[in-house]
């Protein structure tokens, strides 16, 4: 049997700490969440490698560094009460967020992925995550405002609904750009004013929806 604990520790040391991830809460969450249980069985031997992995329906689970980087940008020394995640996938990013935020609401457009993530997270004891099926580009107005919103798919622009659903001092992290390359963008709302900063280059699957890329 593989030593998953050792593999996670090596992942944190070599992929995260050496590349500048400093938030101790983020590092602790990455040490705790069993990424090998969020990928297909046949890919478990690659679970702690520095790469994204396919999870079905043309979707992926992000590379560990990107998960940590986006989480660090979103939390930025705070303990957010309510976080909205757009793009549940296998549930890995939601699990990491749930160890820092009080409540995580995650929206997935693919019914099969939403259902399997819901079961997986419950079985692993992540009881502060709610997985919903729907169009994440319109957010979730019924539970707004949010202290943080994370989008784990590449958007052609920042959806207006997500900006509107940020609370004061809220942070939105979203990859913005074309299909083949995006910039990891941080949106901050203070006293009703929006600031925007583009950062790391990245590549995500497309954000499909009413205020994203067109779907099938």
Q: Kindly state the helix (H) or strand (E) to which residue 5 belongs, with its residue range.
A: helix 4-11
| Domain assignment of residue 55, yes or no | yes
- Compute the distance between CA of residue 138 and CA of residue 141 in angstroms, rounded to an integer: 8
- What is the per-residue DSSP string for 149-193? EEE-SBBSS--HHHHHTEEEEEEEEEEEE-SS-EEEEEEEEETTE
| Domain assignment of residue 209, yes or no | no
| Domain assignment of residue 216, yes or no | no
- Compute the distance between CA of residue 94 and CA of residue 112 in angstroms, rounded to an integer: 17
Domains in the chain, number = 1
Pairing of strands 53-56, 59-61: antiparallel
Buried b / exposed e over 104-123, threshold 16 CB at 10 Å, is bbbbbbbeebbebbbebbee
| Domain assignment of residue 33, yes or no | yes
Average pLDDT over residues 180-200: 93
Question: Exposed/middle/buried for 147, CB within 10 Å: 0-12, 13-18, 19+?
Answer: buried
- Compute the distance between CA of residue 152 and CA of residue 174 in angstroms, rounded to an integer: 7
Which CATH number is 197's domain given?
Answer: 3.40.50.150
| Domain assignment of residue 94, yes or no | yes
- Contact call for residues 62 and 152 (beta carbons, < 8 A): yes
| Domain assignment of residue 86, yes or no | yes
Average pLDDT over residues 8-17: 98
pLDDT tens, position by position, 135-174: 999 999 999 999 999 999 999 999 999 999 999 999 999 9
| pLDDT of 3 strictly over 60 | yes
**Residues carrying an active site annotation:** 62
| Domain assignment of residue 56, yes or no | yes
- Domain span at residue 89 reads 4-202
| Domain assignment of residue 207, yes or no | no
Mean pLDDT of the chain: 96
pLDDT tens, position by position, 43-101: 999 999 999 999 999 999 999 999 999 999 999 878 889 999 999 999 999 999 999 99
């Amino acid at each position: 049997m593989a030593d998953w604990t050792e593999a996670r520790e090596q992942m944190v040391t070599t992929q995260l700490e050496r590349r500048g991830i400093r938030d101790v809460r983020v590092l602790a969450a990455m040490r705790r969440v069993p990424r090998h249980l969020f990928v297909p069985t046949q890919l478990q031997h690659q679970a702690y490698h520095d790469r994204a992995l396919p999870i079905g329906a043309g979707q992926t689970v992000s590379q560990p560094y990107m998960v940590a980087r986006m989480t660090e940008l979103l939390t930025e020394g705070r303990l957010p009460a309510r976080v909205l995640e757009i793009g549940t996938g296998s549930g890995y990013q939601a699990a990491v967020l749930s160890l820092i935020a009080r409540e995580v609401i995650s929206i997935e457009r693919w019914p099969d992925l939403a259902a399997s993530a819901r079961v997986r997270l419950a079985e692993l004891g992540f009881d502060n995550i709610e997985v919903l099926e729907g169009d994440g580009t319109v957010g979730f107005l019924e539970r707004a405002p949010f202290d943080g919103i994370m989008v784990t798919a590449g958007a052609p622009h920042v959806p207006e609904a997500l900006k509107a659903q940020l609370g004061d001092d809220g942070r939105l992290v979203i990859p913005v750009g074309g299909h083949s390359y995006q910039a990891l963008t941080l949106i901050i709302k203070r006293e009703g004013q929006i600031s925007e900063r583009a950062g790391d280059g990245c590549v995500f699957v497309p954000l499909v929806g009413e205020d994203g890329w067109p779907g099938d």
